[in-house]
Each structure stands twice: as C-alpha cells, then as structure tokens.
Amino acid sequence: MGKIGIVFGTNSGTTRLIAKKLARLLGGECVDAPLNVNRISVHNFVQYDALILGTPSFGEGELPSELHGTKNGSWHEFLMQLEDLDMATKTIGLYGLGD
C-alpha cells in the first residue's frame, strides 16, 4: 500500500494541528504531509488508497464552507467534486473537532 493521505479543513488551525500530530505519530515513511482540503486536487486525493480526513464542525453538524465564512473553500465545496467518483476501494478514517 502507498502512503496514507491526511486531508483537513480548518478555520482556526486546530484541525491542522491534529493532522500534524497524527502524521508524526504514524511516521514519515507511511504518511504524506497533511494537506488542507482547499489545496489538494481531486486527482491527487484519489491517488491515496487510505485517507484520514479531518474537519471542524459548524452549527448542528454542518460542514465548513464558503457559505459559512470559510475564505478559500473547504469540505463542502470539495465533496461536491467527488460526487461521481467510486470511493468503494478507499479506506477512510475520520476525525472531527467541535464544541
């Protein structure tokens, strides 16, 4: 299996901090450097067989988006680009931060 991709969305930086801690814990030989969801292409995203995805929460379980004040786009905008892709062969772990 190739390296694990860690992709996060963040507003305050906390989700990014957790992504970096996860990458350190897993070790550099099995995981790529974490990437903000607004800086990864769909082409690069689907190259990973395993992904760890992180997000803060908004409102009552809503995803961060430009509609909610995220300046450069976030999960809502990115997930719309994945709608027609088959992700059945991907192993995906999720983490979420919220209050």
CATH number, residue 91 = 3.40.50.360
In a domain, 75, yes or no: yes
Query: Which DSSP category does 3 fall into?
Result: P
Listed residue (7, 14, 10, 16) closest to 52, CA to CA: 7
Q: What is the mean pLDDT of the chain?
A: 86
The whole-model pTM stands at: 0.86
Strand partners for 52: 6, 93
Q: Residue 20: inside a domain, yes or no?
A: no
pLDDT of residue 56: 83
Q: Which domain holds residue 56?
A: 30-97
Amino acid at 31: V
In a domain, 52, yes or no: yes
Residue 66 lies inside a defined structural domain of this protein: yes
Give yes or no for residue 99 having a pLDDT over 80: no
Residue 79 lies in a domain: yes
Q: What percent of the chain has pLDDT over 90?
A: 55
**Distance (Å, whole) CA 43 – CA 4:** 15
Return the closest-CA partner of residue 68 out of 78, 57, 79. Answer: 57
Number of domains in the chain: 1
Q: Is residue 46 part of a domain?
A: yes
With respect to residue 83, please indicate whether it lies within any of the assigned structural domains. Answer: yes
24 within some domain: no
Which tokens sit at 43?
């082409």
pLDDT, tens digit, 9 for 90 and up, residues 33-76: 999 998 999 999 999 999 999 988 766 666 666 565 656 667 87
Q: Higher-confidence residue: 5 or 38?
A: 5
**What is residue 91's predicted lDDT score, i.e. its pLDDT?**
96
Higher pLDDT among residues 69 and 87, named by residue: 87
Q: What is the pLDDT of residue 37?
A: 93
